[in-house]
Amino acid sequence: MLKRITIQDLRLGMYIQELCGSWMEHPFWRARFLLTQQNDLKTLLASGIQEVWIDTGKGLDVEQGATARTDEEVDQETEYLLREADKPLSTATTSMADEVRHAMQLCNTAKQSVVDMFSTARMGKAIEVGQALNLVEDIANSASRHPHALISLARLKNVDEYTYMHSVAVCGLMIALARQLNMSEEQVREAGLAGLLHDIGKIAISNQILNKPGKLTDTEFAVMKTHPERGLRILQKSDSVSPAVLDVCLHHHEKIDGTGYPHGLQGDGISILARMGAVSDVYDAITSDRPYKKGWLPAEAIRKMAEWSKGHFDDTVFQAFVKTVGIYPIGSLVRLTSGRLGVVIEQNPDSLLMPRVKVFFSTKSRVQIAPEVVDLARQQEEKIEGRESADTWGFRHLEHLWIDQ
């Protein structure tokens, strides 16, 4: 049973369902947890939080003699219970097709949230961490329902919205990667926030450099390389940004062999979250269309990153990342043993080599064929022979094959 209580009635052993107040008023990444630590109780009592919702089915109830609730508080509790009952379970799994439809709406609202957040920072104001955390929570819930929908959609950004949607994409990738690495849900949220804010320093770089269609000069590249430090200064204006998130902002361009920037860190000198940020940042960057280069298809990007991985990425993190997005990520163009071409539309959690593929073209007759979904894990006749280039075949806008399922 859910019950709203005053902060003075809170005690160890209670299960906190929701903290009544903004994220800025408390230091906890999750609003739902079993209260077991005396230090956490002291922190809550000293915070600006006045009331909390507890779940007496998962933890202790209030003690006898606790403050009686007013009629208004009872009405508020009833309204909250009805609201909660009407919500879908955020962790329930859904089909790829269903989650793609939900993720399309989420991408639109996420883009606007990031635009607003970056605009606030551009005016010299502190980042509203509560707003950012709410967005991280929405993205984490989408990834819980289906891990590939949002990160695949966020990749399909146009050149003009790259800066904003790149933040959303890296947030989603960091969340999925953190779960692949078996991190706690608290660490998952922190990884997501780090991904969302990692490139905020680019608001201090001129559009002439950011959107230059040609190669940057040495002087321009030197300016571009200042964005991690500029981002750090922006985030330091907010007391609510954790040291781990600041570290990712500053060090997501470091490389394992020490050739990265801004500090040339190497090996274990780079934090685990910064190593995760490096992989996630590069993957989304090279699969996105930029003013100076068309993005690679996902499978080609994974192949290229594997070539760089020894000096560039942490081996364990990169291997976990490949498991996260797949050897043939959603949207990859592949050739089957039958000679048919198809687009990967969904991963197989039991085998990275046997995703579901929507075939649509015959290389033998060189004509389009009626689209057909082939689940490579459920038959013996077909397997993937290799990756293909959409440009080589003259294909455009292959994304509709996996978006419109």
Q: Tens digit of pLDDT for each residue in 292-319? A: 888 898 999 999 999 887 889 999 999 9
pLDDT of residue 80: 52
Query: Residue 81 pLDDT more than 60?
Result: no
pLDDT value at 70 more than 90: no
Residue 336, helix vs strand vs coil? strand
* Strand order from edge to edge, sheet including 2-6: 2-6, 51-55, 15-20, 33-34
Rounded Cα gap, residues 293 and 109, in angstroms? 27
Angle (nearest 5°) at CA 79 between 23 and 70: 90
Q: Which CATH class is domain 96-325?
A: mainly alpha
Token couple for 284: 């989304």
| CB burial readout 146-177, b (16+ within 10 A) else e | bbbbbbbbbbbbeeeebbbbbbbbbbbbbbbb
Closest CA to 65 of 4, 8, 1, 3: 8
- Summarised one tens digit per residue, pLDDT across range 255-289 is 999 999 999 999 999 999 999 999 999 999 999 98
- Residue 88: the pLDDT is 43
Residue 205 is classified by DSSP as: S
Condensed to tens digits (0 to 9), the pLDDT of residues 366-393 reads 999 999 999 999 988 899 999 998 889 9
CB 127 within 8 A of CB 249: no
Model confidence at 333: pLDDT above 50: yes
- Compute CA distances 9 → 14, 32, 67, 148, 189, whole Å: 10, 17, 8, 42, 28
Q: Find how far residue 95's CA is from the centre of its chain.
A: 19
User: Is the pLDDT reported for residue 175 higher than 90?
Assistant: yes
Q: For 107, phi and psi rounded to 5 degrees?
A: -60, -40
pLDDT band at 179 (very low <50, low <70, confident <90, very high): very high
